[in-house]
Amino acid sequence: MKPNERLGLALIITAPSGAGKSTLIKRLLAEFPRAGFSVSCTTRAPRPGERDGVDYDFLPVEEFRDRIAKGHFAEWAEVHGNYYGTQKKAVLGMLARGRDVIFDIDVQGARNLKANLELGRTLFILPPSRAELERRLKGRGPDSPETVARRMENARSEIAQAGWFDHVLVNDDLDKAYDALRAVYLAESARPALHPGLVESILSSWAD
């Protein structure tokens, strides 16, 4: 690797359902072409507008379990009755080529991903309040009252774990929340660990 090149940044982003995580991630990817989205595998059905291979790789349960047995995933978890998993080989390849990888996964997946790959920085996106999160969940689609109630209860347990993340931000105002996300991305991109040989190459110029 040349001194002016760097390794890819793995930015692991987590939030309770309805906190606005997907909107913020799409905005980050649009501004920074160097960053790519980690396409997870899942056994849940596609939502309106989602595309196979772009938003998720949608798999039958049997195939997902087979991939677990073969060690295909860097992390996997069962969430809301469906399986989700991060593809190990694809992620490591992107990072080695200097491509930043943005992960959109739950708390359990974030913990497992950081432990299994021993890389990545974590960010938790918080809703401004319980009432606002419930309003967003009720207004975003045809979820039943039981589904909304389950997601609200899950949100409480997820938010309780936000303290171990490297960064937190509150999505109250979308523009302000994006500014905070952007700042985290830029700061983490400047970590010396992602720039092997850079300092040494500059010091060597003193010998010229």
What domains are there in the chain, each with its CATH number?
Answer: 10-191 (3.40.50.300)
Contact yes or no for 105/39 (Cβ under 8 A): no
Report, in angstroms and rounded to the nearest whole number, the Rg of the chain calculated over CA atoms. 18
- Predicted confidence at residue 113, as pLDDT, reads 87
Backbone angles phi, psi at 175, to 5 degrees: -65, -40
Q: Using a CB cutoff of 8 Å and minimum separation of 24, what contacts does 68-71 make? A: none
Q: How far is CA 82 from the centre of its chain?
A: 18
pLDDT in tens, the chain (208 residues): 565 688 999 999 999 999 999 999 999 999 999 999 888 899 999 988 999 988 899 999 999 999 999 999 988 988 778 999 999 988 999 999 999 999 988 898 899 888 877 778 999 999 999 999 999 999 877 788 899 999 999 999 999 999 999 999 999 999 999 999 999 999 999 999 999 989 999 999 998 6
Cα–Cα distance measured from residue 8 to residue 175, given in angstroms and rounded to the nearest whole number: 26
* Strand 56-58 to 100-104 pairing: unpaired
- Predicted confidence at residue 105, as pLDDT, reads 87
The answer to whether the Cα torsion of 93, 95, 99, 104 is positive or negative is positive
- Predicted confidence at residue 64, as pLDDT, reads 97
- Predicted confidence at residue 208, as pLDDT, reads 62
Torsion of CA 98, 191, 11, 110, to 10 degrees: 120
Backbone angles phi, psi at 149, to 5 degrees: -60, -40
Amino acid at 83: Y
CB atoms within 10 A of CB 79: 17
Contact yes or no for 14/110 (Cβ under 8 A): yes
Backbone angles phi, psi at 46, to 5 degrees: -65, 145
